[in-house]
């Protein structure tokens, strides 16, 4: 009976444990499905550190948010969708928000959030169509979606006039994964409307580190620009391959997840001129950084290293947590209660209003562009800046860029309607 007893015991423990797990006494429980292990850990760690440190700073400096302690917790997924769903199930009973941190996990969790009624916060990732808040009532991807990113890149490289791209060739180097395919519908629509040639070059998950064949194709086709949607090991692979093949760095532009300091530090000065669109910008001298240093880093409560603090990803992590806490604050304010539940946070996230004044109050001026969400707009379309690698660090290299909101809105609405139809019955809200 040995084995059987063991199995039964293990199952019994697991089941009784599952309900008892995450028993939070008080405070607002905001879990993060982190990935500090696995193939994407190098890019995950600075982001997770930033998120963690911002909340730790609020807890240390202000005792939480409007007097209520913020219970920040991480559940490790290793970027695996299977673990992600496990984490979602483990945290959803207590959590007021879920932060899936992977397009794959978002894909699996999104349909369930409608039933479980828990908001899903995917800042700058997830589905672009999540911007249509009337369909994706529980999904939020502010401040910018991938279609925004693609649009801003095109605006910047065309100098604001898309018709100037006519006749040019743009290679779209992307991870062959839901994430990498996300901007394709937008880019295809733009290519057709403006007469430039789009050359999609997929990079399979297994060939991320060896992109010789993709870059051979790029060398042969001589595109005017290479736009990259890469993540994890793919970024470093592409950048070192671009250096090796001598592709002009100033014609090579990446999305915000392809602007990781460590990837470019590996090639150093050879990477000078590489640009990455970003909805966040590092501001080493921002007051919020001083606060984080004082209350978290110097108190020894941070997992980050000194050089990481000024990196793009760490500071983006701060912004992500700020968006969440602003959503919480909006809900607290509206419902007149310091403790809020998931449904109230949904309202809060729908009514985030980040203005220049508010950013100044938070000490985050210039770290993100002002934006506001609404019932029908869950993205906010903040726009962003182009960051340029100067051989040593990323610097802001452009004025504030805005996406073509009208074109994107039409795409969002049709894609969201398509999604809802494929998943019928899908509840939609009427805004106004």
Partner 1 sequence: MLYRTAGQFKTSYKKDQALFPVRQDATLLALILGLAWIVFPFMASEFAFQTLLIPVLVYSLAALGLNILTGFAGQLSLGTGAFMGVGAYACYKMITIFPEMNLIVAVLLSGFFSSIVGVAFGLPSLRIKGFYLAIATLAAQFFLVWMFEKVGWLYNYSNTGAIQVPNIDMFGVAVAGPLASSVTKYYFVLFIVTVVTVVMINLTRGTQGRIWKATRDMDIAAELIGINLLKSKLTAFAVSSYVVGVSGALFVFLWRGAAEPNLFDISLSFRVLFIAIIGGLGSIMGNFLGAILIVALPVVLNILPELFGIEIASATVEHLNIMIIGSLIIFFLIIEPHGLARLWALIREKLIIWPFPH
Between 89 and 294, CB nearer to partner 1: 89
- Which structure tokens are listed for 196? 């430039």
Nearest to 106 by CA among 87, 132, 134: 87
CB of 399 to partner 1, least distance (A): 31
List of residues 6+ apart from 192 with CB closer than 8 A: none
Q: What is the DSSP letter of 310?
A: G
Nearest to 160 by CA among 430, 407, 403, 422: 403
Binding residues for partner 1 restricted to 164-183, rule: CB under 8 A? 176-178, 181-182
Please tell me whether residue 75 binds partner 1 under the rule CB under 8 A.
yes
Pick the piece of the chain touching partner 1 (CB under 8 A) from 112-120, 210-218, 229-237, 357-365. 112-120
Interface with partner 1 (CB under 8 A), residue from 104, 139, 230, 380: 104
- By CB atoms closer than 10 A (0-12, 13-18, 19+), residue 42 is middle
**Sign of the dihedral through C-alpha 68, 90, 42, 130:** negative
Please tell me whether residue 190 binds partner 1 under the rule CB under 8 A.
no
Please tell me whether residue 10 binds partner 1 under the rule CB under 8 A.
yes
Interface with partner 1 (CB under 8 A), residue from 195, 204, 248, 268: 204
Between 64 and 183, CB nearer to partner 1: 183
Between 37 and 393, CB nearer to partner 1: 37
Enumerate helices (H) and strands (E) in the chain, giving the number of each. Answer: 15, 13
Question: How many residues sit close enough to partner 1 to count as binding (CB under 8 A)?
Answer: 59
User: Are 184 and 411 a contacting pair, CB within 8 Å?
Assistant: no
Please tell me whether residue 1 binds partner 1 under the rule CB under 8 A.
yes
Pick the piece of the chain touching partner 1 (CB under 8 A) from 61-69, 162-170, 374-382, 421-429. 421-429
CB of 304 to partner 1, least distance (A): 14
Q: What is the DSSP letter of 177?
A: S
Pick the piece of the chain touching partner 1 (CB under 8 A) from 75-83, 237-245, 251-259, 269-277. 75-83
Q: What is the DSSP letter of 398?
A: S
CA distance 151 to 408: 8
What's the chain's Rg over C-alpha atoms? 22
Cα–Cα distance list, 412 to 73, 132, 183 (Å):
32, 6, 12
Binding residues for partner 1 restricted to 118-157, rule: CB under 8 A? 127, 129
Please tell me whether residue 358 binds partner 1 under the rule CB under 8 A.
no
List of residues 6+ apart from 393 with CB closer than 8 A: 261, 282, 310
Between 127 and 196, CB nearer to partner 1: 127
Interface with partner 1 (CB under 8 A), residue from 60, 69, 74, 390: 74
Interface with partner 1 (CB under 8 A), residue from 73, 117, 207, 390: 73
CA distance 248 to 13: 59
Please tell me whether residue 205 binds partner 1 under the rule CB under 8 A.
yes
List of residues 6+ apart from 252 with CB closer than 8 A: 225, 226, 228, 242, 273, 274, 275
CB of 138 to partner 1, least distance (A): 11
CB of 49 to partner 1, least distance (A): 11
**Residue numbers of the site for partner 1 (CB under 8 A)?**
1-4, 7-8, 10-15, 17-22, 34, 36-37, 73-76, 78, 81-82, 85-86, 89-90, 92, 103-104, 107-108, 111-112, 114-115, 127, 129, 176-178, 181-182, 184-185, 202, 204-206, 415, 422-425
């Amino acid at each position: 009976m040995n084995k059987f007893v063991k199995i039964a015991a293990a199952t019994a423990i697991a089941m009784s444990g599952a309900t008892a797990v995450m028993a939070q006494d008080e405070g607002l429980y905001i879990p993060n499905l982190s990935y500090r292990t696995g193939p994407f850990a190098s890019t995950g760690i600075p982001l997770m550190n930033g998120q963690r440190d911002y909340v730790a700073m609020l807890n240390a400096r202000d005792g939480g948010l409007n007097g209520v302690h913020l219970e920040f917790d991480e559940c490790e997924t290793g970027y695996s969708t299977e673990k992600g769903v496990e984490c979602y199930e483990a945290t959803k009973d207590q959590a007021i928000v879920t932060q899936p941190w992977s397009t794959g996990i978002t894909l699996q969790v999104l349909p369930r959030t409608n039933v479980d009624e828990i908001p899903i916060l995917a800042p700058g990732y997830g589905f672009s169509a999540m911007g249509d808040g009337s369909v994706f009532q529980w999904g939020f991807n502010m401040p910018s979606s991938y279609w925004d990113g693609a649009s801003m890149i095109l605006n910047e490289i065309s100098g604001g006039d898309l018709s100037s791209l006519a006749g040019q060739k743009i290679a779209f180097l992307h991870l062959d994964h839901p994430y990498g395919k996300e901007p394709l519908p937008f880019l295809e629509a733009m290519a057709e409307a403006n007469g430039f040639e789009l050359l999609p070059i997929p990079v399979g998950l297994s060939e991320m580190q060896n992109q010789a064949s993709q870059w051979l194709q790029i060398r042969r086709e001589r595109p005017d620009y290479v736009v990259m949607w890469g993540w994890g090991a793919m970024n470093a692979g592409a950048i070192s391959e671009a250096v090796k093949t001598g592709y002009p760095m100033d014609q090579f532009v990446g999305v915000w997840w392809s602007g990781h300091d460590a990837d470019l530090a590996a090639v150093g000065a050879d990477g000078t001129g590489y640009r990455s669109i970003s909805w966040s910008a590092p501001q080493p001298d921002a007051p919020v950084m001083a606060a984080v240093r004082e209350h978290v880093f110097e108190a020894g409560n941070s997992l980050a290293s000194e050089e990481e603090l000024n990196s793009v990803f760490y500071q983006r992590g701060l912004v992500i947590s700020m968006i969440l806490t602003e959503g919480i604050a909006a809900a607290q304010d509206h419902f007149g209660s310091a403790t809020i539940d998931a449904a109230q946070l949904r309202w809060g996230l729908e009514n985030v209003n980040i203005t220049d004044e508010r950013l100044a109050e938070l000490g985050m001026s210039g770290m993100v562009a002002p934006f506001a969400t609404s019932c029908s707009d869950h993205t906010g379309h903040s726009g962003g800046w182009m960051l340029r690698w100067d051989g040593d660090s990323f610097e802001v290299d452009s004025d504030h860029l805005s996406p073509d909101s009208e074109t994107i809105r039409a795409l969002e609405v049709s894609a969201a309607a398509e999604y809802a139809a494929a998943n019928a019955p899908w509840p939609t809200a009427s805004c106004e």
